[in-house]
Every structure is written in C-alpha cells, then in structure tokens.
Amino acid sequence: MGTARSEKVAGGRFVTFKRRLVPEDQAENDGVEWTLWLEEHEMPVPIAAFRQPVTPMREEIAVTLSFLQGWLLEGWTPDEAKAKVDQHPRCATT
C-alpha cells in the first residue's frame, strides 16, 4: 500500500498512482488511483484522476497508457487531459 510518482517531464508534468485503502471487493473494481499533475510555481496541482481495478483487463491498461502518453509525451493541455479523463467510467474528481 503506497504511492509511486513518475519523474517530471517537460513543463513540470508528472503522474502518481496509489493503492486505495478500500475493502477488497471495492479494490477489485477501483483499487488503484492514477492522477495527472502539473507543477506550477514549485507546487503540484492535480489536473485529473481516474481509478482502475487492482488487476486491470487489457482494455483498461490500454486506456491508462493512452492517458499517460497524452499527458507526459504528447503534451496535452490541462483542459484536454481533464476532458479525456472525464470520459473515463471511473473518473475521480480532483
């Protein structure tokens, strides 16, 4: 039970994921939370968050990778990232 954080990339972007402290049956559905962050004035600002099962299916992994690629590599704007993540069925309000 912990948190992992990516290294910052261009523009102060990074990603975290953490194992949520929820009952086992809930963790099967949304036990890991991913958050897209932007560092502004040396302070981390959460942009968007979504949850995945502890053991995700292939399709869920593909969605996660597309979000990470868009945020970290393609340089989505915060509004673009929020709009994409808002469409996720387990979007978590930041």
Identify the domain containing residue 12 by its residue range: 3-92
Question: What is the rounded average pLDDT of the residues 62-76?
Answer: 95
Coil, strand or helix: which one is 40?
Answer: strand
Per-residue tokens: 93: 């309000």
| Domains held by the chain: number | 1
Q: With the C-alpha atoms ordered 73, 75, 80, 83, is the resulting torsion angle positive or negative?
A: positive
Q: What is the pTM of this model?
A: 0.87
- Residue with the larger pLDDT of the pair 51 and 20: 51
Edge-first strand order for the sheet with 13-19 is 3-5, 13-19, 32-40, 43-52, 91-92
Give the C-alpha separation, 17 to 92, whole Å.
Answer: 13
pLDDT in tens, 18-50: 988 878 777 777 788 999 999 999 899 999 999
